Structure 1
Amino acid sequence: MQKILFALSALAIVAPAVITPAAAGAACTTEAKEKWLTEDAMKAKVTEMGYQKIKTFKVSGSCYEIYGFTKDNKKAEVYFNPVTGAVVKSEID
């Protein structure tokens, strides 16, 4: 029994370190995918917002995510709410 408790205690200490990197991405929506903008509609919205030279456009968890450049030609990684198209998180270099 003590071995089991020790193992569970060790897991409780290690688990947050393992979970943290995955949690680093944005949580964009809890809405069902049926309510999301289509990929084509989202791509159009991203272009309207001034993002260009999009190298990657993908679904990432509950977000649309792009890797590309801003209108000022700065490298951008951006997460969007797939229902509204709003920026949830961005990293601009």
Structure 2
Amino acid sequence: MRKLLLLSLIAASPLAFADPQCTTADKAQWQDQTKFQETLKGQGYEIKKFKVTSTNCYEIYGWDKDKRKVEIYFDPVSGNVVEQEIED
């Protein structure tokens, strides 16, 4: 019973679903959002939703060039992928 309670508390924890921290850089150093999205589209991404997270990431929901559903967090300064989830 205790194990079940503990697992429930862990699963409900906000840390279990927290977005990654992408940068601590000043927003003046971030890439322009529109240009960044255009670069991704040029790489074959189809963006359904783009947002700036509270943890300083550019996040997209959409599809990659292979038409796989993706959720990707990017460092808005370097443009590097910090975390991604791809559905086949």
With normalisation by structure 2, the TM-score equals: 0.76
With normalisation by structure 1, the TM-score equals: 0.73
Larger Rg: 1
Listed as ranges, the gaps of 5+ residues in structure 2 are: 1-8
* RMSD between aligned residues: 1.9
CA distance in 2, matches of 1:48, 1:79: 18
Greater helix share, structure number: 1
4+ aligned runs moved over 3 Å, structure 1: none
Q: 1:26: how far off?
A: 1.3
Show CA shifts across 1:3-59 (max 9, x none).
Answer: xxxxxxxxxxx7xx634135x31111110111101111211221233211x110010
Percent of counterpart pairs with the same letter?
A: 43
Does the 8 Å contact 1:79/1:88 carry over to 2? yes
Aligned residues: 77
| Equivalence for 1:42 | 36
Does the 8 Å contact 1:45/1:85 carry over to 2? no
